[in-house]
Amino acid sequence: IVKIGIWTAEGLAVDWIGKNVYWVDSLLDQIQVVNFEGTFTATVLKDDMHNLRALALDPAKGLMFWTDWQEANPRIERATMAGTDRKTLFRVLDVPSGGWPNGLVCDFSAERLYWIDAKSDSVHTMTYDGFDVRLVLRDAHNMAHPFAISVFENYIYWSDWRQTKIFRANKWNGTNVAIIEDTSNQPFDLKIVHSSRQPKAIKNPCLNNGECSHL
């Protein structure tokens, strides 16, 4: 649906309510959006971005989240899906030996974020507002270089580039680690296909493009 204006697309996320696709471009240092038909594109955010990696949306709440690998200040940020009300939720250097925030996913039912830090080989979670930050799992045996992450019901799922495997563990305490798939490649992303991963909104926050003239 988009053939021009893309340089290095990293994270990609679907707004199934507003029928748009969002992505981060790590070369242009921008978050961009296009509608499903490919007839309209826009830059949502572009300032103070340095090394974008992952992107996650909660369209029912009208929120987007992303990770930035900036060496001096790796972090997780939040804004509305129109690019307003931007704020830093978590500075990844606060994680011991941390600094490479890779995968990021929304847990819609709990209104929490889960993310992977590949430098410290760990999984963390916090609320959408950046509170109640918890370490879920740090496991050198099962996390040689974790990259993508997803969540479904009571489990988190992640891919590991060095082990070329997909793992699963309890999303609250990191127990019951299991290998789900032994792959022969390095998955860049991981998605759970289920109706609960695309909940319907009671009220569409993006109705009429969220009343935003630039979208």
Percent pLDDT > 70 in the chain is: 93
Cβ atoms of residues 121 and 109 within 8 Å? no
**How high is the pLDDT of residue 82?**
96
State residue 93 phi and psi, 5-degree precision.
Answer: -65, -15
User: Is residue 4, in this structure, part of any structural domain at all?
Assistant: no
**How high is the pLDDT of residue 151?**
96
User: Is residue 73, in this structure, part of any structural domain at all?
Assistant: yes
**How high is the pLDDT of residue 143?**
86
Domain range enclosing 83: 9-202
Number of domains comprising the chain: 1
User: Is residue 209, in this structure, part of any structural domain at all?
Assistant: no
User: Is residue 2, in this structure, part of any structural domain at all?
Assistant: no
User: Is residue 214, in this structure, part of any structural domain at all?
Assistant: no
**pLDDT over 70 (residue 202):** no
User: Is residue 1, in this structure, part of any structural domain at all?
Assistant: no
**pLDDT over 90 (residue 62):** yes
153: alpha, beta or left? (left if phi > 0; alpha if psi -120 to 50): left
**pLDDT over 90 (residue 113):** yes
User: Is residue 17, in this structure, part of any structural domain at all?
Assistant: yes
**pLDDT over 70 (residue 96):** yes
9-13, 153-157, 179-183, range with greatest mean pLDDT: 153-157
DSSP state letters, 43-108: EEE-SS--SEEEEEEETTTTEEEEEE--SS--EEEEEETTS-S-EEEEEGGGSTT---EEEEEEET
d(CA 208, CA 200): 17
Across 26-30, 57-61, 80-84, least confident range: 26-30
The mean pLDDT of 150-164, rounded to a whole number, is 93
**How high is the pLDDT of residue 162?**
86
193, with CB counted inside 10 A (0-12, 13-18, 19+), is exposed
Tokens in use for 59? 């369209």
Residue 98 half-sphere exposure toward CB, CA atoms < 13 A? 22
